[in-house]
Chain A
Amino acid sequence: MNLSFPVLSKMRKLLFFFLLSFVCFLSANAAIEVYQFDDETQQQRFNALSDQLRCPMCLNSNLSGSDAPIAADLRAEIYEQILDGRSNDEIIDFMTQRYGDFINYRPPLNSGTFLLWFGPLILLLSGFLIIWRMGKNSQNLQTEDLSAEEQQRLKSLLAGKK
């Protein structure tokens, strides 16, 4: 009897994770409307735009992943503008004019977004620079910083230890 318990708990765990994955599956597909497009390209553009644009209400998800009413409105807006024959750039401009660079998960490069784009690279490079300089300094310390007398003393100390 006792032997069967670990097996049971294993199965329970499996079942648990199975159900958990089902929950994730449900929530990932929560925001779905049915849009009819003229062709496949329009559909792909719609998907790409709603993946690239951020929901202004729940700031850490994109339009396609958000259940907020405003995200549904903006998806409808993208759909209508695509059917109207407007280009991706025009649609992104439309959104940026109203919601700022913030709405775009791939913000344009300008003075306001310079740090956003290059900040991590600058930090990384300055980290390398500091490590490089420190490595150089520690080499210098060993060779230069002892005077002739001190070198002599060091040698005798080392010899005495042996």
Chain B
Amino acid sequence: MNKRVLLLIPGVFFVAMLGLLLFGLGRDPNMVPSALVNRPLPEFSLPGLELDQTENNLVIASEDLKGGISIINFWATWCPPCHVEHPYLVEISQQEQDVTFIGVNYKDDLEEARLFLEEKGSPFEKIIVDLDGSLGIDFGVAGAPETFIVDSFGMIRYRHVGVINHQIWEETFEPVISRIK
């Protein structure tokens, strides 16, 4: 009897490995677990981008983002996927009135960023300027676009790498937002 059980071990092991590998197939290898989820927003105080150019001394600090749910989107005009997701961001920011959309203009040319938003419309209530990418490093960003959901206490609750579209918004952003509301 004991031997029969022993003979089963390779079979069980094989099935377990098969399950593990099948599970691994369905996962995106680029989805690295984020170190910042469920941690407070990094402290920062950086200049803001003003579209009308007249007053350019706006300063945005991490404290300013508390008190409501915000979506923080790292973007740049040099990043092609950012151009792809832009129209959807404009659309969803108009629909979602109780979520604040904050843009981080990441290592970009400010004049081009301004022109881009003037031409295509801005989904953002505020735009933080991160010229040298140091805020990006503090957020653990690997590139653009990346998007974070921050709750009203200033805690990061979700990190998304890559383009946001309708499907991704409905399947991943909406559940997180309704959970932390």
Q: Measured between C-beta atoms, what is the minimum distance from A58 to chain B in Å? A: 9
- Is A137 within 8 A of B143, CB to CB? no
Cβ of A90 < 8 Å from any Cβ of B? Answer: no
Cβ of B36 < 8 Å from any Cβ of A? Answer: yes
Q: How large is the interface on B (under 10, 10 to 19, 20 to 34, 35 or more residues)?
A: 20 to 34
Cβ of A160 < 8 Å from any Cβ of B? Answer: no
A residues contacting the other copy or chain, number (CB 8 A): 20
Q: How many A-B contacts are there with CB distance less than 8 Å?
A: 51
- Is B137 within 8 A of A59, CB to CB? no
Q: Measured between C-beta atoms, what is the minimum distance from B138 to chain A in Å? A: 6
- Is A59 within 8 A of B29, CB to CB? yes
- Is B143 within 8 A of A69, CB to CB? yes
- Is A74 within 8 A of B29, CB to CB? no
Contacts A98-B138, A99-B140; A56 near B107 (Cβ below 8 A): no
The A-contacting residues of B in range 68-119, CB under 8 angstroms, are: 107
- Is B32 within 8 A of A56, CB to CB? yes
Q: Whole-angstrom distance between the alpha carbons of A99 and B142 in the complex?
A: 9
- Is B29 within 8 A of A57, CB to CB? no
Main secondary structure of the interface of A (DSSP, over half): helix
Q: Whole-angstrom distance between the alpha carbons of A70 and B35 in the complex?
A: 17
Q: Whole-angstrom distance between the alpha carbons of A57 and B79 in the complex?
A: 14
- Is B6 within 8 A of A73, CB to CB? no
The B-contacting residues of A in range 49-84, CB under 8 angstroms, are: 56-57, 59, 68-70, 73-74, 77
Q: Whole-angstrom distance between the alpha carbons of A77 and B134 in the complex?
A: 9
- Is B142 within 8 A of A100, CB to CB? no
- Is A137 within 8 A of B6, CB to CB? yes
Q: Measured between C-beta atoms, what is the minimum distance from A153 to chain B in Å? A: 23
- Is A99 within 8 A of B35, CB to CB? yes
| Residue in chain B with minimal CB distance to A70 | B142
Q: Whole-angstrom distance between the alpha carbons of A56 and B142 in the complex?
A: 5
Contacts A70-B143, A133-B6, A137-B3; A97 near B107 (Cβ below 8 A): no
Interface residues of B (CB under 8 A from A): 3, 6, 9-10, 29-30, 32-36, 107, 132-133, 136-143
